[in-house]
Structure formats: C-alpha cells, structure tokens
C-alpha cells in the first residue's frame, strides 16, 4: 500500500487508492454510498448500481461496518458529499472483515459506558472525540519537551525499578527483583535531584510513575505520566516561572496545531490560551480567600490542607490557573526547603487549575545535615537513602523544581470529567487489563 | 541567582555573577587561579594576592574542590587563560562546601572503575565525557521523536503494569498489584498493535521496558529504553524504511547539534552520518556471507539463530548498518506474519549495527484466526490474551513496526564498550541502587 492516498489529500481529478475502515453504508436504491474513514478523515465512495460491475457493487455495499477496505478509483467533485468530493470506484477490496456485532459503535451514534470503551480502546479510538483527546495529548507532551529544551534543560530517564520509594514504603507497588524486594518508583524526585548536582544542572523527564494509593476517584490513577523538571541555581520563584511557561507552551501548541481536534470536542470557541501571569497566592492568603467565599461549612485554619471543596471554592474565586506558595512546612515532604527566616513556612508550591491541583514543587533542601534531619523528622531511615544523601556532601547547588501531572493537564485543558479519558489504558484498583 | 551568567557567555567588559563548581585551584605564589565549572564550560578566576582583599583571596583559594561557588566580578581578556578570558573577582561565596575526600575525581585525572562511577553518578556526570554521552542521548531521543512526528505518527503512552507479558510468563518481573499478580511490561508490542487498529493508525512510544533476563553482559540491561514504532497499512519493507529514517535522523541531529560533545569524546573526526541505503540481506544470504567469512568454527545452517560471533563476523563483512530480513518463521514470535507464499519464512527483520542487533521488527499477523493459532503453537494460552486478540475481529488493518533499543543506539553510535555507560542508573542483576 505504498501508493495509498490519505482521504484528506484526495483532490478532484486524482486517481487514488485509499484504505481505511467502512464507516457507514447508505443504500438509496439505485445508488449506494460507502463512507471510508482513515486517520485524516472520511471520504464517500459512490456505487451507481446499474452502471457498475455487479461484483464491485456487491463487495462495496455489503461489507460489514468497521471492516478494513481498500478502494481504487477516480476522485470527482460532488457538492452534496460531506467533503465535497467522492470516489468513483474501479476496485474495492475487503482487506480485513469485521464481525457484524461490534462491542461499541465507533460512529458514536450509540453511546457506550466508559468501562466498555476502556475494554475496547481500539474501537473507542475510532471515534473522532476519543482520537482527538490523544492527538492533543501527544501535542501537549511534544510542546512541553520543546519548551524545556528551549530553557537549556536536558532530557533524562531515571529508573522505574528502585530499592526505596521517594517518600518511604507506603503507597509503593512491591516487585520481586532477582530474589530481592524492590519497588516501582512513585516519583523521579530523588534521581532528578541527583542530576542537578551533576554537570547537567537542569533536567526534565516525562515518564510513568506508580502509586499504590487506594483512591478510586475520577482524578486519581495508579499509573500516571509525570512531567518533571528540576534545576540547579534557581529558587522556588524560578521554578514557578518555568512551570507557568511550560503550561502556557502546551496551551499555545494545542491552539495552533489542534484546531480540528478542538472543533471535534466542541471547544473551538471555549479554548483559551492563558495570557496573564498566574497569581501567586501565599497559603495564608489562599485560606483567607477560601474562608471569605463562604462556600465551606467550616473555616480553614493555618495548618489545614486544602480539601477538594476548598480547592474548588478558591478556583471559582480566582477564575484561572494560580499558584499557592509558602505552605506550612509540616504538610510538605522532607526534601522541600523551609524559608531561612521562618522555619515554619516552606518554599513548597502547588500550581492549581480552578478545578484541581496540577503541580507540586518547591525549592529543595540542598544542605546535607538539614536533609538528613528531615528524613528523621518524617520517620524515614536516612541510611536507606544514603545513595542520595551522600551526594549532598560533595557540592550540591541550591535547586528547585516541580512535577506536573500529565493526565491532569490534559483533563483540565479539555474539561474531561474523568482522568481515565486522558489515558489509553488506565490502571486503577479494578482495572489491570487491557 | 536570577542574574547568573553562564561561563560560556562571559565576554570581556562584562560585569558578571557566575555560579558553578570549584573545578581546580592553582596557586602560583603571588597569584592564584580558581577554575569555576558550570553546565556550559569553565572560566578562570584570578586572585592577585597582594592587590586583593585578604578574606576574598582566602575564600577563593582555600575552597575545597567540587564545592559550589558563586563569583561576582569583571571579565577581562587574558590570552593565557584556557578560554581567553578571566574574571577579576569582587566577591566569592562558597554556596555549598564539598567534603575534601571525594569518592571519584570529576576532573578525570584519576580514573575510576565503572561501579564506583555508577555509585556516584552525580560526581561522574561532572566529568565532561560522561556528561557528553547524556547530552547526546537527549539529542537522539528528541531527533527520533521529531522524525516520527514528521512521518504522521502519534506519540502514545502504554501501561507498564500489565496482567500478561507480551511473550508469556518467562522473563517477567512480578508485581503485587492490590492483591493480584501482575507484571512489569517487557514490551509495548501488543498495546501499540491495538492502537494501529484505532483511528490513530500510526503510533510511536519511547519508554521503559523491563526484562528479568539473567544475562549479565556489557550489552544487556534489565530496565531499558525502547523506541517503538507501529503503523497500519505498511508492510515490513515500509517499516524498514521508517526504521532507517529514524536512525539516520538521530545521527544527523548529533552531527549538527553535538559538535562539542563529539569533540569531548574524541569522535569529532570519526563520527559519520550513514548516507547510503542500508543493505537488506535475507537471512539466507546472511548465513551464506557469515559462512564465507571463514571466521566461525562451525558453519551455520538454515534455522540457526545468529550467535554474537556470527553477528560480528557479518558486521565486519558488511561494514555498516544493515538489515537481515526473511527470518525462518520458527525463530520469530507469534505476532510476526509469515510470507503468504512461503509459511516457513517470516516477514521479521532485524536492523544491525556492525557490532550488535539494534532493532527487531516485522509485518504483524493481522488475521484473527491465524493469530490465535500462533499463540497455541507458541504454547501460550490465547484466552489470557483475549483483550488483544478480540480486537482483531473488528477490522484490524495490515500493519508493521519495530522496536529499537535506545541504549544500544547510543552505545553503538559512540562506540561505548558497556551499555551501562549509556544509562544514568542502570539496573542489572547486581545493581538496584542508586
């Protein structure tokens, strides 16, 4: 099929071979249409029953829906055809027939529940809407990588099989590794920090993370894609600058490159690239604003984490992406640095979409002794992390960074109501296959 | 450190603040030099002991090597300095002191064994040579992604936690997944095939794969980076075209963007972008050529796999990258399609560097019944793979693709003698940390 033409490229006057799926057959009596769908769109194939070879008409009009077909013929202008052109076929071949009974309807005329769609992703991604989400997802990842590279960051790949989890033994999936106990890594945090102390200085990674959390919500996954950035010689403010830049770069790329996909998802009008600087609210300001909304039954006090309800109340109030900075030290992990002039306040920050948290970041503790003390305060054994803490004795620069949830970015960007819509093959407590 | 200047950007006449590591201190008596190293290079800082503040001189000349320092001063032309410029300092701050005893010497003057280097990757990647490898690795991955996108392929991410391995239960790491048995995926093979049957048609993924092989050689890893491509409506010849294009794109990008790194690695002269089309030898031709070299103790016969020695003999004979095509069906996995006119020959191919195999690919079996029969022939239970085989009943197009070993690509490109040189934190039978 080397000389195959994409349906979107078929122009009147061309002689083409197209290949794709039998999307629909419409039989009007003396005339019938086969709609062929491929990666780029759809095209109408016309069968004039009295004028054409009987076998050709038979093959083209009796093929079962979603079979793979290959059609050779001439492209002609036809204003009444959905794309303004149609193919007058010389040959039609059924390359791979489909069972007449389909587990879901790729034309989208019959709705299917999410579990059915996830069980049949091959068919589900023949629907324009599902396909659009994943074309946009790919564009987002490419844009974020390009942005990081434009900021002098080097792409790294860190191990997913590890001896110790980033934040200790909870919420880790255990592996049997040649007779030893090991774990699937829940975050590249410690490894990316080891690399900012190297000659690379500034690094990023987009890769899978694994969390054995028992959450079962529309916004948690047990295997997710983490977009991680870490840089020497910047503080938490610098990390927020890069974070904001990456997010805006993703939105800009989607606006520029995915107009058709946004149209398919009904977002052509609603999609907006954030232009303004994201407000940076201190934690203290944030809880004051939440309390002032009056939307919560109970007032927040200093030290409280923000509940989902609190995040949503604040999101409605702010109305766009924003940061929450200067979190109480006690709610942030040991590797986040406290403010030098106030050890009760950390340099940790979150970046929020109005509907949920997207990013967690901060300046890191780069001083060896303070870092080891932090492990102990958190009830972790520093000896188990010596491969990491040891490097802080050999000139570890001040550094900062963040982790951005890839699926949450796509989910909030497109207004999806379940994070599983943004993953091809989600993993949760119930779902391990396909 | 918002106004930090990279050492490579310091021009005579500038007033700068640089930050980096104390690479070397040379004390010549009345004058002393501190060499500061950062991501972009090195710069000399001059201390004229009689003319400068005593504390400043004391700080700048007594700092332990590999400490993190920040220097502010004026940049002056100095032909005798390694980069032609030097900084006359006004202030020197030791930002993070290093222990005087280092586990390895980042200046590279004292050689360290690979295990010591891998235990101390932070310090190891302060060496120009190690850093150069990973800058090139990042360039390779970016170039391959850009190439695939130029070929209309969509980036996908498939799950790493799976219920069944691609080729059955051997060589898989078991996981405990919420009380169920699961595995770390050894290849995205089945998932990328499910996606070529979707509206995406043509996909790629660069991600980790996990193999519990007991190999312990300089060219095997238990966690590796796989570069996977798969496309509907192409055959094995089309897949080889894309494979060859991706490899050449990687070499071209390194030649264009990594001149300094190649120089560091002593490859400035030797590095060559492959220009010619890669020969496509049939398996039968390949074994004839191996036998004709006379380098093997025993002659190969049809059906033999190629040993490492055979691969090397053939590599010397061919002298560049090449493909071996039309392998005997029995040595290739069930999902590789046999030739229609000769069921003993498969469409499977390997792409070879003269020193080793880089790629395994082929046209895939897209016919449901033949695929299920293949599972049975291979001793696998088709029911365990129903999530996969089922989709072949709903219009699975002919398709082909390949998997390219990311580390092997970097290793062969740079002539590294151990694949662990091309991974930040390798995983093998002995090594699980850092």
Which residues in chain B touch residue A234, judged by CB atoms under 8 angstroms apart?
Answer: 1-2
DSSP result, A16-30: EEEEEEEEEEEE-SS
* Binding site feature residues of A for Mg(2+): 357, 360
Asked if B155's CB is within 8 angstroms of A391's CB, the reply is no
Element (H, E) at A308: helix A308-318
Q: What is the pLDDT of residue A2?
A: 60
Q: What is the DSSP letter of A398?
A: P
Closest Cα in chain A, distance from residue B41 (Å)? 9
Residue numbers in A near B226 (CB within 8 A): none
Residues of B in contact with A154 (CB under 8 A): 134-135, 138
Picking from A183, A394, A425 by the largest number of B CB atoms within 10 A of its own CB, the best residue to mutate is: A394
- Please, which residues bridge with residue A21 across strands? A37, A68
Q: Do B394 and A123 touch (CB under 8 A)?
A: yes
Nearest to B157 among A126, A130, A225 (CB): A225
Name the minimum distance, in Å, from the CA of B122 to any CA of chain A: 5
Contact B1 A66 (CB under 8 A): no
pLDDT, residue B1, reads 55
Asked if the Cβ–Cβ distance from B210 to A424 is below 8 Å, we say no
**B233/A19 touch (CB, cutoff 8 Å), yes or no:** yes
Q: Using an 8 Å Cβ cutoff, are A78 and A43 in contact?
A: no
DSSP string for residues in A344-381: EEE--EEEEETTEEEEEEEEB---HHHHHHHHHHTT--
Name the closest residue on chain A to residue B135, using Cα atoms: A154
Report residue A71 as tokens. Answer: 């059609």
The predicted structure's pLDDT at residue B216: 86
Chain B residues whose CB is inside 8 A of the A99 CB are 393-394
CA-to-CA dists, residue B239 to A253, B196, B352, B413, angstroms: 29, 13, 15, 21
Crossing angle between the packed helical segments B128-150 and A128-150, to the nearest 10 degrees: 150
- Please give the torsion angle defined by the CA atoms of residues B363, B368, B370 and B375, in that order, rounded to the nearest 10 degrees: 90
CB contact under 8 A, A96 and B123: no
When CB atoms are compared, the residue of B19, B102, B134 closest to A394 is: B102
Q: Which residues in chain B touch residue A39, judged by CB atoms under 8 angstroms apart?
A: 152, 199-202
Å from A298 to nearest chain B CA?
A: 35
Ramachandran area for residue A131 (φ above 0: left; ψ -120 to 50: alpha; else beta): alpha
Q: Is the peptide bond before A434 cis (omega within 30 degrees of 0)?
A: yes
Q: A37 to chain B, minimum CA–CA distance in Å?
A: 8
Chain A: give the shortest CA distance to residue B66, in Å: 6
pLDDT of A292 reads: 95
How is chain A split into domains, by residue range? 7-96, 122-278+320-422
Which of A122, A155, A201 is facing B38, going by the closest CB pair? A201
- Cβ-Cβ contacts under 8 Å between A and B: the total is 273
In the block, which residue shows the tokens 């069972």? A99
Q: Which residues of B touch A434 (CB under 8 A)?
A: 191, 194, 387-388
Q: Which residue of B has its CA nearest to A156?
A: B138
How do strand A322-325 and strand A349-353 relate by DSSP bridges? antiparallel
Q: Please tell me what DSSP assigns to residue B336.
A: B
Alpha-carbon torsion (A423, A425, A428, A430), positive or negative: positive
Residues of A in contact with B36 (CB under 8 A): none
Distance from CA of B272 to the nearest CA of A (A): 24
Minimal CA separation from B370 to chain A, in Å:
13
State residue A209's pLDDT score: 97
Residues in chain A, overall count: 434
Residue of A nearest to B237 (CA): A2
**Apex CA B145: angle with CA B139 and CA B151, to 5°?**
135
Distance from CA of B344 to the nearest CA of A (A): 23
Query: Per the residue annotation, which of A126, A219, A236, A353 is the catalytic one?
Result: A219
How far apart CA B89 and CA B355 sit, in angstroms, is 51
Q: Are B128 and B264 in contact (CB under 8 A)?
A: yes
Give whole-number Cα distances, A374 to A177, A266, A394, in Å: 29, 48, 19
pLDDT of residue B133: 98
> Which residue among A39, A68, A98 sits closest to B202, beta carbon to beta carbon?
A39
Task: Give first-to-last CA distance, chain A, whole Å.
Answer: 30
Q: Which chain A residue lies closest to B103 (C-alpha atoms)?
A: A394
Distance CA A147, CA A140 (A): 11
* pLDDT < 70 regions, chain A: 1-2, 166-170
Chain A CB contacts of B208 under 8 Å are 157, 160, 207-208
Work out whether strand B15-27 and strand B68-77 pair parallel, antiparallel, or are unpaired: antiparallel
Q: Does domain B122-278+320-422 have CATH number 3.30.930.10?
A: yes
- The model carries a pTM of 0.97
Asked whether the domain spanning A122-278+320-422 has the same topology as the one spanning A7-96, the reply is no
pLDDT score at A252 = 98
How far is it, in rounded angstroms, from Cα B3 to Cα A159?
A: 34
Cβ neighbours of A100 in B, within 8 Å: none
**Which of B221, B387, B394, B428 to mutate to test binding with chain A, by most A CBs within 10 Å of its CB?**
B394
Given an 8 Å threshold on Cβ–Cβ distance, is A173 in contact with B176? yes
- pLDDT score at A196: 98
Cis peptide before A56 (omega within 30 of 0): no
3-state secondary structure of B364: strand
Answer yes or no: A330 catalytic: no
User: Which positions of B make up the binding site for L-aspartate?
Assistant: 167, 211, 360, 364
Q: Kindly state the tokens that stand for A137.
A: 């997802």
CA distances in angstroms from B161 to A186, A223, A330, B32, B190, listed in the order given: 13, 8, 33, 57, 13
Annotated binding site of B for ATP: 211-213, 219-221, 357, 405-408
Which residues of A line the annotated binding site? 167, 211-213, 219-221, 357, 360, 364, 405-408
**Helices assigned H by DSSP within B173-235:** 189-196
Query: Which of B49, B253, B4 lies closest to B145, judged by CA?
Result: B253
Predicted local distance difference test score (pLDDT) of residue B192: 98
User: Which of A121, A198, A233 comes nearest B125 by C-beta?
Assistant: A198
Q: How many residues does chain B have?
A: 434
Tell me whether residue A171 is exposed, middle or buried, using C-beta atoms within 10 angstroms of its C-beta: 0 to 12, 13 to 18, 19 or more: middle
Kindly give the interhelix angle for B406-414 and B236-257, rounded to the nearest 10 degrees. Answer: 50
- What's residue A279's pLDDT? 98
CB contact under 8 A, A155 and B176: no
Q: What is the pLDDT tens value at each position of chain B, 434 positions in all?
A: 568 999 999 999 999 999 999 999 999 999 999 999 999 999 999 999 999 999 999 999 999 999 999 999 999 999 999 999 999 999 999 999 999 999 999 988 888 999 999 999 999 999 999 999 999 999 999 999 999 999 999 999 999 999 987 666 568 999 999 999 999 999 999 999 999 999 999 999 999 999 999 888 999 999 999 999 999 999 999 999 999 999 999 999 999 999 999 999 999 999 999 999 999 999 999 999 999 999 999 999 999 999 999 999 999 999 999 999 999 999 998 899 999 999 999 999 999 999 999 999 999 999 999 999 988 888 888 898 999 999 999 999 999 999 999 999 999 999 999 999 999 999 999 999 99
Per the CB < 8 Å rule, is A222 touching B161? Answer: yes
3-state secondary structure (DSSP) of residue A4: strand
Q: Over the stretch A361-378, which tens digit does the pLDDT of each residue have?
A: 999 999 999 999 988 888
CB-CB contact of A246 with A205 (8 Å) = no
Contact criterion met (CB < 8 Å) for B123 and A391: yes
DSSP state of B119: H
What lies within 8 Å, CB to CB, of B207 at 6+ separation is A207, A208, B157, B158, B160, B188, B225, B226, B228
- Cα separation of B432 and B429, whole Å? 8
Say if the Cβ atoms of A423 and B157 lie within 8 Å.
yes
Q: Annotated catalytic, A360?
A: yes
Residue with tokens 């039978």: B429
Interface contact A159-B425, CB threshold 8 A:
yes
Question: Within a 10 A sphere around the Cβ of B41, how many other Cβ atoms?
Answer: 17
Tell me whether strands B322-325 and B280-282 are parallel, antiparallel or unpaired: parallel
Query: Using the beta-carbon criterion (under 8 Å), do A432 and B212 form an inter-chain contact?
Result: no
Nearest residue on chain B to A199, alpha-carbon basis: B126
What pLDDT does A165 receive? Answer: 74
What's residue B2's pLDDT? 60
Fold of B7-96: OB fold (Dihydrolipoamide Acetyltransferase, E2P) (2.40.50)
The rounded percent of chain B whose pLDDT value lies above 90 is 91
Catalytic annotation, residues of B: 211, 213, 219-220, 357, 360, 408
């Amino acid at each position: 099929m080397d000389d195959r033409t994409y349906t979107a490229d078929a122009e009147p006057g061309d002689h083409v071979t197209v290949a794709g799926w039998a999307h629909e057959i419409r039989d009007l009596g003396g005339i019938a249409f086969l709609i062929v769908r491929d990666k780029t769109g759809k095209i109408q194939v016309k069968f004039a029953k009295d004028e054409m070879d009987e076998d050709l008409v038979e093959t083209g009009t009796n093929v079962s829906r979603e079979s793979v077909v290959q059609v050779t013929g001439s492209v002609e202008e036809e204003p009444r055809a959905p794309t303004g052109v149609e193919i007058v076929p010389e040959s039609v071949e059924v390359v791979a027939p489909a069972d007449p009974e389909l587990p879901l309807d790729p034309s989208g005329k019959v709705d299917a529940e999410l579990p059915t769609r996830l069980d049949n992703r091959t068919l589900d991604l023949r629907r324009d809407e599902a396909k659009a989400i994943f074309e946009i997802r790919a564009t987002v990842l490419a844009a974020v990588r390009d942005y990081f590279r434009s900021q002098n960051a080097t792409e790294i790949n860190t191990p997913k099989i590890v001896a110790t989890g980033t934040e200790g033994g909870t919420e880790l999936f255990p592996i049997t590794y040649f007779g030893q106990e090991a774990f699937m890594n829940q975050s590249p945090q410690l490894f990316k920090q080891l690399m900012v102390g190297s000659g690379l200085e500034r690094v990023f990674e987009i890769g899978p993370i694994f969390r054995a959390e028992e959450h079962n919500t529309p916004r948690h996954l047990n295997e997710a894609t983490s977009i991680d950035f870490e840089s020497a010689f910047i503080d938490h403010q610098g990390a927020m600058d890069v974070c904001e830049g990456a997010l805006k770069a993703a939105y800009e790329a989607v606006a520029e490159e995915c107009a058709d996909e946004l149209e398919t998802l009904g977002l052509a009008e609603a999609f907006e690239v954030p232009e303004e600087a994201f407000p940076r609210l201190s934690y203290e300001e944030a809880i004051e604003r939440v309390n002032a909304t009056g939307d919560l039954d109970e007032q927040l006090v200093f030290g409280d984490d923000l509940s989902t309800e609190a995040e949503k109340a604040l999101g409605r109030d702010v109305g766009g992406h924003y940061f929450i900075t200067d979190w109480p030290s006690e709610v942030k992990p040991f590797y986040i640095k406290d403010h030098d002039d106030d050890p009760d306040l950390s340099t940790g920050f979150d970046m929020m979409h109005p509907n949920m948290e997207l990013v967690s970041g901060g300046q890191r503790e780069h001083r060896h002794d303070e870092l080891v003390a932090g492990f102990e305060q958190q009830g972790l054994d520093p000896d188990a992390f010596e491969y990491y803490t040891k490097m802080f004795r050999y000139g570890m620069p001040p550094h900062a960074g963040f982790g951005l949830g890839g699926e949450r970015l796509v989910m909030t960007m497109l207004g999806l109501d379940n994070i599983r819509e943004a993953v091809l093959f989600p993993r949760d407590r119930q779902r391990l296959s396909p």
